[in-house]
Each structure stands twice: as structure tokens, then as C-alpha cells.
């Protein structure tokens, strides 16, 4: 996950890979600038073939989630869809049915658009400065949080400068001190599965 803050709002960019468990919270989605980037530690070859660190299933689910983001530009909806998929990756079809948009998702996923979207996310991920070391990856005001990622709720709430109301999660003292339990990292320099 990457979070950066501009002068007028807090922008959360979440760099992640499907199959890497992460605690998403749509309660922190506050504005149009919030984005998910489903690419992870994948690699793109010279012929534009994408190889995912955890195999073909990760690539398929990253593409599905990219299509969902495209199909549902509303952040709350695609966050909820991705949370549904990440909760049970073997039952992603039920998530598509639950949230609707089956034709749009299937057309995107089975066509060239899914690859185009993933290559765009690859470009975004590879342009990160500093480079990401693992996923999920978080930066705040351009600086990586490293181990402080476990305190991301509190850090994002403190950095929020949006024009809309502070996300409800931020105004709850219990949640503002919330830590991410058992965060699983996948390091960029680990071998890619074939």
C-alpha cells in the first residue's frame, strides 16, 4: 500500500498482489484520489508477458481486480469487491455475482483490456520512488513507512487534509490506534514461481 498526501487531500495508493493477505478497510476510502494498484511484485518481459511472483493464479486475480476497478470507478464498491475476492480467492465468481457487472467484468477479463490495465499498473509500480521492496507497500508524503505500516490507520488519519469529512474510522479512538494484525509481506527479490 502506498499513501501520499497532497496539500488538499490525502491520497492512498495501495500497491498489492492478489493472494497476499492484507487488511483492507473501505472505511478509510475518503475521496476520488484513493487508488488500488493490483500488480504486486510481478515482472514484465520485453514481449510484454506478465509473470507473477506467486504464479498464474495471482496474475488471473490481479487482472480480475483490475477489471473490477475499471468497471466500478466508485472506490467504495471496488474496495468491497476486492475485499470479497481477497477473503476467498477460490470463490471470486460469487463476488462478481454479489456486486453485479458480470458482463463488463467478463468482457474486460477475457479481452485485451485486462492486459492493458495490468501493464498500466506495472508502469505505475515500476515508477515508484523509492522502489517498492515488498507488497503491500506504503509511503506517506513520498516516504516509505517500512515497519510502521502496521500503524497505517493512525498515520493516514493524521495525514488526511481532504475537503470532505474525516473518514469515520479516524474519529473513533479505538480504530485510530488499530494495528494491522499478522501482516504478510511478499518481498520483491523473492523468486517468481513458474
Judge whether 48 lies within some domain. Answer: yes
> Is 194 inside any structural domain?
no
Residue 37 in any domain: the answer is yes
Q: Residue 192 falls within a domain, yes or no?
A: no
Rounded to the nearest 10°, the torsion over CA 157, 127, 143, 21 is 50
**Predicted local distance difference test score (pLDDT) of residue 76:** 79
Mean pLDDT of the chain: 75
Give the count of domains, the chain: 1
What is the reported pLDDT for 18? Answer: 47
Question: Global pTM?
Answer: 0.75
* pLDDT of 93 higher than 70: yes
> Sign of dihedral through CA atoms 33, 34, 37, 41?
positive
Does residue 78 fall inside a structural domain?
yes
**More confident: 167 or 54:** 54
**Residue 43 located in a structural domain:** yes
Residue 180 pLDDT > 70, yes or no? no
Query: Rounded to whole angstroms, what are the CA distances from 160 to 124, 152, 165?
Result: 23, 12, 10
Task: HSE, CB side, 13 Å, CA atoms: give it for residue 72.
Answer: 20
pLDDT of 170 reads: 73
Q: Is the pLDDT of residue 11 over 70?
A: no
Residue whose entry in the numeric block shows the C-alpha cell 468491497: 80
| pLDDT tens per residue, range 32-69 | 456 788 888 899 999 999 999 889 998 999 999 999 99
Query: What range does the domain containing 22 cover?
Result: 2-187
Residue with cell 487488511: 23
Residue 193 in any domain: the answer is: no
Q: 85 pLDDT band (50/70/90 cuts)?
A: confident
pLDDT digits (tens, 9 = 90+) for 128-150: 888 878 777 776 666 777 767 66
Whether 127 is in a domain gets the answer yes
Amino acid at each position: 500500500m502506498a499513501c501520499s498526501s497532497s496539500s488538499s487531500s490525502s491520497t492512498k495508493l495501495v500497491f498489492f498482489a492478489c493472494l497476499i493477505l492484507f487488511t483492507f478497510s473501505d472505511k478509510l476510502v475518503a475521496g476520488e484520489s484513493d487508488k488500488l494498484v493490483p500488480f504486486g511484485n510481478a515482472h514484465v518481459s520485453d514481449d510484454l508477458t506478465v509473470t507473477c511472483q506467486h504464479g498464474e493464479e495471482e496474475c488471473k486475480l490481479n487482472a480480475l481486480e483490475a477489471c473490477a476497478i475499471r468497471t466500478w470507478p466508485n472506490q467504495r464498491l471496488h474496495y468491497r469487491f476486492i475485499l470479497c475476492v481477497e477473503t476467498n480467492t477460490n470463490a471470486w465468481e460469487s463476488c462478481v455475482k454479489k456486486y453485479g457487472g458480470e458482463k463488463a467484468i467478463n468482457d474486460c477479463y477475457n479481452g485485451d483490456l485486462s492486459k492493458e490495465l495490468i501493464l498500466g499498473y506495472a508502469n505505475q509500480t515500476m515508477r515508484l520512488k523509492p522502489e517498492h521492496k515488498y507488497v503491500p507497500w506504503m509511503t506517506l508524503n513520498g516516504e516509505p513507512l517500512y515497519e510502521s505500516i502496521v500503524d497505517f490507520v493512525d498515520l493516514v488519519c493524521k495525514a488526511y487534509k481532504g475537503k470532505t469529512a474525516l473518514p469515520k474510522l479516524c474519529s473513533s479512538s479505538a480504530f485510530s490506534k488499530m494495528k494491522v494484525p499478522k501482516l504478510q509481506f511478499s518481498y520483491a527479490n523473492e523468486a517468481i514461481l513458474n
